[in-house]
């Protein structure tokens, strides 16, 4: 318990710095080249495998949601007979 308080005290006394610890390489020009290529791939899929998986997941959820909504509307419109 006391050790946690000392650590908290140390954190609160440390000055907050906005200076970057390391410089990051600017990757924007490389990404611009990839996205501006005229290779027939739609822009939403040019990011690679992650974009393709996200697109397919989104489409699957959309189709499932539309089907479920239609099913619920039909079920509500045609209630079970006793």
The CATH code of the domain that includes 72 is: 4.10.91.10
Residue recorded with tokens 């939403």? 44
Question: What tokens were used for 24?
Answer: 């990051």
Full residue range of the structural domain in which residue 55 is found: 32-82
Question: What tokens were used for 39?
Answer: 């290779």
Under a CB-based contact definition with an 8 Å cutoff, are residues 14 and 6 in contact?
A: no
Split into its structural domains, the chain has a count of 1
pLDDT in tens, 3-36: 777 777 776 666 666 666 678 899 999 989 989 9
Question: What tokens were used for 36?
Answer: 């501006």
Whole-prediction pTM value?
A: 0.57
Give the Cβ contact number of residue 46 at 10 Å: 15
Question: What tokens were used for 51?
Answer: 């974009």
Structural domain contains residue 81:
yes
Q: Which of 7-11, 48-52, 69-73 has the lowest mean pLDDT?
A: 7-11
Question: What tokens were used for 47?
Answer: 């990011």
Query: Band of the pLDDT at 55, cuts 50, 70, 90?
Result: very high
Return all residues near 16 (Cβ < 8 A) that are at least 6 apart. none
């Amino acid at each position: 318990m006391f050790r946690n308080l000392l650590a908290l005290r140390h954190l609160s006394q440390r000055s907050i710095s906005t200076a970057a610890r390391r410089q990051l390489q600017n990757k924007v020009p490389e990404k611009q080249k990839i996205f501006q290529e005229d290779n027939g791939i739609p822009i939403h899929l040019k990011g690679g495998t992650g974009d393709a998986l996200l697109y397919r997941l989104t489409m699957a959820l959309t189709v499932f949601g539309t089907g479920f909504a239609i099913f619920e509307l039909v079920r509500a419109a045609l209630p079970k007979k006793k």
